[in-house]
Amino acid sequence: MIYLKTDEEIELMRASNILLGKTYAEVAKSIRPGVSTAELDKIAYEFIMDNGGRPACLNYEGYPATLCTSVNEQVVHGIPSKDQILKDGDIISIDSSIELNGWCSDSAYTFPVGDVKPEVMQLLKTTKEALYLGIEQAITGRRLGDISATIQNHCERAGYGVVREFVGHGIGRDLHEDPEVCNYGRRGNGIVLKSGMTIAIEPMITLGRRQVLVEEDGWTARTVDRKPAAHYEHSVCVRNGKADILSTFDYIKEVLGDRFI
Ligand code: MF3
Ligand code: CO
């Protein structure tokens, strides 16, 4: 069941996503060598609570934290830990969701930690480009497969792996709604997009092979070959002619300055 949202509902979803963007900016201020992922999680939890939100990942199907913090070969759903200390040259993907006034947000961003190798910076850049190219397809009359194929083509052309096991999704009152938004597929396939559909588009792209496995903790997904992976995500509303991006990296950009790619 796909729910089309009213203009009022879209504005409530935007408010939730703006709070999430501001939360990531708070987290970004502390991303540096020596910080633990548990410390980043605490910053996010407190900021969301102080601003009247509910951390929507916390206790979601038993997930134990506010943020998903996935470092280097970890792809998604990494669990923050006081023993996981960031070091120079790492990358960290931050993924979370907030419920604000009954509406969910979802967005993800991969940050470099200190000086990151050029080949890994290029992975981040290409993954972010793929996200925005996919978003350009989120317009009335296009099909879901147009988004999927655009993301897949952009990343595979660069020689990267496109993760299959995790996908984007509809979003609204619930964090995960229909439809599934795959990062691989064929142009012209899938449902026709309608104005008012709200979806989270989230390419998860690997430097090496695309295969992933889930660790013993039941959550952390990492690449089998242990090469790094990147993950960028926006929540968007399908519109005529141009998608409306509800989440934002603008607050992250303010913090990163000329380190923003
Ligand atoms: N953006 C993530 C997703 O769509 C949010 C995960 S919350 C978790 O899967 F609780 F499942 F980790
Ligand atoms: Co998501």
pLDDT in tens, 55-67: 999 999 999 999 9
**196 CA to middle of ligand 1, Å?**
22
Asked if residue 98 belongs to a domain, the reply is: yes
Provide the domain count of the chain.
1
Q: Is the CB of 68 under 6 A from ligand 1?
A: yes
Asked if residue 68 belongs to a domain, the reply is: yes
**61 CA to middle of ligand 2, Å?**
14
C-alpha–C-alpha distance, residues 196 and 71, integer Å: 34
Asked if residue 28 belongs to a domain, the reply is: yes
Exposure pattern of 1-12 as b/e (b: 16+ CB <10 Å)?
eeeebeeebbeb
**152 CA to middle of ligand 1, Å?**
21
Asked if residue 2 belongs to a domain, the reply is: no
DSSP class per residue in 77-146: -PPP-TT-B--TT-EEEEEE-EEETTEE--EEEEEE-SS--HHHHHHHHHHHHHHHHHHHT-BTT-BHHH
Q: Which ligand is nearest to the CA of 198?
A: 2
Q: Is the CB of 234 under 6 A from ligand 1?
A: no
Closest residue to atom 10 of ligand 1, CA basis: 57
Q: Is the CB of 63 under 6 A from ligand 1?
A: yes
Ligand 1 atom nearest to CA at 77 = 12
230: amino acid identity, one letter? A
Asked if residue 131 belongs to a domain, the reply is: yes
Question: Mind listing the pLDDT tens digit of every residue in the chain (261 residues)?
Answer: 999 999 999 999 999 999 999 999 999 999 999 999 999 999 999 999 999 999 999 999 999 999 999 999 999 999 999 999 999 999 999 999 999 999 999 999 999 999 999 999 999 999 999 999 999 999 999 999 999 999 999 999 999 999 999 999 999 999 999 999 999 999 999 999 999 999 999 999 999 999 999 999 999 999 999 999 999 999 999 999 999 999 999 999 999 999 999
- DSSP β-bridge partners for residue 99: 54, 104
- Other Cβ atoms less than 10 A from the Cβ of 88: the count is 12
pTM of the predicted structure, to 2 decimals: 0.98
> Domain containing 42: what range?
7-259
**208 CA to middle of ligand 2, Å?**
23
Q: Which ligand is nearest to the CA of 109?
A: 1
Reduced to 3 states (helix: H, G, I; strand: E, B; else coil), residue 69 is strand
Asked if residue 213 belongs to a domain, the reply is: yes
Asked if residue 90 belongs to a domain, the reply is: yes
Q: If you ran DSSP here, which 8-state letter would residue 257 be given?
A: G
C-alpha–C-alpha distance, residues 101 and 83, integer Å: 34
Ligand 1 atom nearest to CA at 97 = 5
CATH number at residue 38: 3.90.230.10
Asked if residue 1 belongs to a domain, the reply is: no
pLDDT in tens, 95-111: 999 999 999 999 999 99
Ligand 1 atom nearest to CA at 95 = 1
